[in-house]
Amino acid sequence: MRVIIVKDYKDMSRRAAKVVANRIGKKPDLVLGLATGSTPEGTYSELIRIHREEGLNFSKVRSFNLDEYCGLSPDHPQSYHYFMYDKLFNHINIRPENIYIPKGDVENANISCEWYEEKIKEEGGIDLQILGIGRDGHIGFNEPGSSLGSRTRIKTLTKETIQDNARFFKKGEEVPRYAITMGLGTISEARECLLLASGANKAEVLQKCIEGPVSAEITASLLQLHPRVMIIIDEEAAQNLRQKDYYQYAEKMAEELEVSQKFGARKK
């Protein structure tokens, strides 16, 4: 895992958007896995800026979202459909037919979950999966105890997650208790994962995710087994990491190595 510690939310967003733009530059028909929530919002704003000012082209990009609340229609302001169009899709040149988000308001959600898995396969699998992390360690909505090999399915949200998500809903409005989410097996098959986190309220869980044992209790810890993971977090989120100094040192060394590989090793 490559752990990159940056100053604040703004830096995290800029750095993450740069990674996404770089991957699209290398593979214009990238299959991009997307997350919602407050963490990736800044990354999406920065991607919109790069699209407008530097011509980043999304016309061939295909996208799959991690999750959607059960029972909310796509036009509900708190649905993840709405979020994605509002925060990203309406402002870039991605084709509507290339956008996939689990459907939360269908009669038979199980069929829709199977269809989602098939569609990911048909499109060649996810190249880069963007992830946020919940305070209970979830990625997607894979709450504690989720099977490490799980596929797209319905999950019951923990009280903690419902509480955390209540901030997005109007006072008195019921927060959904179920969500459709890609499984941990589905996420693990992405060729690359990019985990983002910001703020002191993520510090405790990040320490467990990065340095604790791999366990279904903190489902994000499964990323330790993935061959290509980049974790971009800010200072506040990184404050509990035991190996923080080493991650910063390793990052500095990696940058130096990149520069020397680009310009050739200096002769004595």
- Tokens 């200072």 belong to 235
Q: Which helix (H) or strand (E) holds 230?
A: strand 229-234
* Coil vs helix vs strand at 245: helix
What is the closest distance, in whole angstroms, from the C-beta atom of residue 245 to ligand F6R in the complex? 26
Alpha helices in 27-158 (DSSP H): 41-54, 80-87, 109-122
Residues involved in catalysis: 67, 136, 138, 143
Give whole-number Cα distances, 46 to 11, 53, 54, 91, 96, in Å.
Answer: 10, 10, 11, 11, 20
Footprint of ligand F6R on residues 76-115 (CB under 6 A)? none
- Least Cα distance to 64 among 16, 12, 115 occurs for 115
What is the closest distance, in whole angstroms, from the C-beta atom of residue 177 to ligand F6R in the complex? 15
Contact range with ligand F6R by CB under 6 A, out of 34-42, 95-103, 150-158, 238-246: 34-42
The residue from 22, 38, 59, 156 that contacts ligand F6R (CB under 6 A) is 38
CA angle 215, 204, 141 (to 5 degrees): 55
Our finding on whether 72 is near ligand F6R (CB under 6 A) is no
Phi first, then psi: what are they for 64, rounded to 5°? -125, 125
Our finding on whether 43 is near ligand F6R (CB under 6 A) is no
What is the closest distance, in whole angstroms, from the C-beta atom of residue 153 to ligand F6R in the complex? 14
The bridge status of strand 229-234 relative to strand 178-181 is: unpaired
Contact range with ligand F6R by CB under 6 A, out of 35-43, 46-54, 227-235, 248-256: 35-43
CB-nearer residue toward ligand F6R: 166 or 254: 166
Contact range with ligand F6R by CB under 6 A, out of 1-9, 10-18, 31-39, 89-97: 31-39
CA 234 to CA 247: how far, in whole Å? 13
Phi first, then psi: what are they for 166, rounded to 5°? -60, -25
Residue nearest ligand F6R, Cβ-based: 132
Our finding on whether 163 is near ligand F6R (CB under 6 A) is no
Contact residues toward ligand F6R (CB under 6 A) are 35-39, 66-67, 132-134, 138-140
